[in-house]
């Protein structure tokens, strides 16, 4: 039997009670009742509840510290507390925040979406990322890897970024991405980009590519170890 209380009745980490409601209302008024992550603006009959996110959760908020509170809609608030079901369903929030979103809420839907699914680079800001849609799934990659995929012939219409999407600008950054994807890269974005420099062509367009390949390097190391063991016998 689960002893966990119903999510909608649990106390969240931001605050509760009359004092908190007064702080929340002051923050909403300051932000013109607009979600600072996605831009949803509450007017008339609200479709979403607006909430105040406490950017310093272990401190006690006060009217003098309103700058620590940020107005967000319910779904966007859930993206900031992915480990707590009391905040609702983050899947209803947009994948990317607005380009001008405050740093405290300028995040993807979850922490794992800050990791490029092609090269495993960890991006600090959502503005460094792009998303590629394949089927019903979204695959987040860093902008250089997005450029690499575009250079490999991927459809530009399937990409999305936090700011205005510019396929040419992304393609120009392809050279910053590794030629080969990481070993743990997701299938739909597991694409090798065309080598550009003389060094890259030497490494990846010649038999040396089998050594540069991580699996090839492991195999070579294993064979070297076996050969060395025979020599030492």
Sorting pLDDT into bands at 50, 70 and 90, what band is 207? low
Answer yes or no: is 160 within a domain.
Answer: yes
Number of domains in the chain: 3
Share of the chain above pLDDT 90, in %: 54
> In this prediction, what percent of the chain has a pLDDT beyond 70?
78
Q: Which residue has the tokens 């990659």?
A: 141
Q: What is the pTM of this model?
A: 0.74
What local confidence, expressed as pLDDT, does residue 168 receive?
96
**Distance (Å, whole) CA 8 – CA 204:** 55
Please determine, for residue 115, whether its predicted confidence score (pLDDT) is greater than 80. yes
β-strands 69-73, 50-54 pairing: antiparallel
Q: Are residues 180 and 214 in the same domain?
A: no
Give the mean pLDDT of the chain: 83
Beta strand segments in 55-145, E: 69-73, 129-134, 137-142
53 and 75 in one domain?
yes
Q: Identify which of 43, 38, 22, 111 has the alpha carbon closest to the alpha carbon of residue 71.
A: 38
Task: Mark whether 204 and 190 lie in a shared domain.
Answer: no
Task: Please check whether residue 171 lies inside any domain of the structure.
Answer: yes
pLDDT band at 233 (very low <50, low <70, confident <90, very high): low
Mark whether 226 and 162 lie in a shared domain. no
Let me know if residue 2 belongs to a domain.
Answer: no
Same domain, yes or no, for 100 and 30? Answer: yes
Residue 1 in any domain: the answer is: no
Q: How far is CA 190 from CA 1, 16, 49, 152, 201, in A?
A: 43, 46, 39, 11, 19
Distance CA 201, CA 150 (A): 19
- 201 & 127 share domain: no
Tell me the CA distances in angstroms from 55 to 19, 180, 232, one per residue in order. Answer: 17, 38, 61
Q: Give the pLDDT confidence of 134-155 residue by residue, as tens digits.
A: 999 999 999 999 999 999 999 9
pLDDT score, position 64: 65
The DSSP letter of residue 34 is: B
135 in the same domain as 123: yes
Q: Is there a single domain that holds both residue 186 and residue 200? A: no
Q: Where a domain ends, among 107, 128, 158?
A: 107
Tell me the mean pLDDT in the region 189-195: 90
Query: Residue 84 and residue 30: Cα distance in Å, rounded?
Result: 27
Domain boundary among 74, 107, 140: 107
Residue 152: which domain range? 112-194
Tell me whether residue 185 is in a domain: yes
Per-residue model confidence as pLDDT tens digits over 20-72: 888 899 999 999 999 999 999 988 777 888 999 988 766 666 666 788 899 99
Residues 15 and 97 in one domain: yes
Higher-confidence position of 198 and 145: 145
Spacing of C-alpha 10 from chain mean position: 27
Asked whether residue 68 falls in the same domain as residue 91, the answer is: yes
What pLDDT sits at residue 167? Answer: 96
87 and 46 both lie in a single domain? yes
- Arithmetic mean of pLDDT, 198-223: 60
Non-local (6+) Cβ contacts of 34 within 8 A are: 40, 41, 42, 71
The per-residue pLDDT for 2 is 35
Residue 76 in contact with residue 105, Cβ under 8 Å? yes
């Amino acid at each position: 039997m689960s002893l966990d209380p119903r999510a909608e009745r649990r106390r969240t980490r931001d605050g509760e009670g009359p004092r908190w409601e007064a702080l929340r209302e002051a923050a909403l008024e300051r932000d013109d009742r607009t979600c600072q992550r996605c831009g949803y603006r509450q007017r008339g009959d609200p479709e979403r509840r607006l909430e105040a996110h406490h950017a310093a959760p272990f401190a006690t908020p006060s009217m003098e510290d309103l700058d620590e509170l940020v107005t967000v809609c319910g779904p966007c608030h859930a993206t900031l507390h992915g480990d707590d079901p009391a905040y609702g369903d983050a899947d209803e929030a947009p994948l990317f925040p607005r380009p001008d979103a405050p740093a405290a809420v300028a995040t993807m839907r979850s922490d794992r979406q800050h990791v490029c699914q092609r090269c495993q680079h960890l991006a600090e800001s959502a503005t460094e990322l792009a998303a590629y849609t394949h089927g019903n799934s979204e695959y987040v990659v860093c902008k250089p890897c997005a450029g690499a995929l575009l250079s490999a012939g991927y459809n530009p219409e399937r990409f999305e970024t936090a700011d205005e999407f510019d396929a040419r600008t992304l393609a120009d950054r392809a050279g910053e991405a590794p030629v080969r994807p990481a070993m743990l890269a997701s299938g739909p974005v597991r694409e090798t980009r065309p080598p550009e420099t003389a060094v890259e062509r030497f490494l990846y367009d010649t038999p040396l590519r089998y050594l540069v390949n991580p699996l090839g390097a492991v195999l070579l190391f294993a064979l070297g170890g076996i050969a060395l063991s025979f020599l030492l016998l």
